Amino acid sequence: MILVTGGAGYIGRHAVKALRQSGFKAVIFDNFSTGHRSFLKDTPCVEGDVCSAVDLDTAFRQYSIEGVLHFAGRTLFPESHLKPELYYQINLTGGMHLLEAMKKHGVKYLVFSSTCATYGIPETVPINEVCPQVPINPYGESKLAFERALRWFHKAHGLEYLSFRYFNAAGADADGEFGEDHEPETHLIPLVLDAALGRRPEVKVFGTDYSTPDGTCLRDYIHVMDLATAHVKGLQALMSG
């Protein structure tokens, strides 16, 4: 059984589907602050918060957990500037509670949903894995702090882990079961589609001084099912040594 924290959210729920397609059994762990109960379908779920050691212990006691895909966390970098305490509490302290629960219950495999925001403003483009990590917001800082904790848990306790520092996820599974559904919606593709459908009056484009042909920003996207599949393959790689 694989525990998927934040498994009722956009990327987490697609990862649950990818796990099941690969022959794994999955259990969702989510507090539904941003996740959707309608995403559960027939997947078992423990309603809980990563900031609660008691909730995490309940999940590990209730199910025979072999590995973890960790998606739970706050992800809005503008919000992180206004509420840095919230981002450190959930992304770092909550992550530490998860690691303690894994250690307590003898679970050795973790795939962490990190972010390209750990790199900050890149020195070179395209970014590769060895580029300096110099975050420019509390969101990226809190994710990087947890990445560093993973390295020390590996050295001290034998944790086997991977961190994926990806860019913007987009799209939905081919069956159309799940998709992007955020409140408030901040992702560009849903905003563009909403404007095209007349659900909002306009799409605002910010920035005029980027080093691009028209001065506006360029974004890199990865399809959410490619991302979900990568997490599953990462877990398989860890579990196979």
Which residues are catalytic, by number? 139
From the list 152, 141, 89, the residue with the least C-alpha distance to 115 is 141
C-alpha distances in Å from residue 111, one per residue of 83, 179, 192, 214: 26, 22, 31, 38
CA 82 – CA 137 distance, rounded (Å): 10
From the list 238, 85, 78, 15, the residue with the least C-alpha distance to 6 is 15
**CA quadruple 108, 162, 93, 226: dihedral sign:** negative
Sole residue written with tokens 């980027």: 210
Q: Tokens for 202?
A: 């306009």
CA 37 – CA 30 distance, rounded (Å): 9
The C-alpha angle with vertex 65 and arms to 57 and 35, in degrees rounded to 5, equals 70
H/E stretch holding 30 reads: strand 26-30
CA 150 – CA 153 distance, rounded (Å): 5
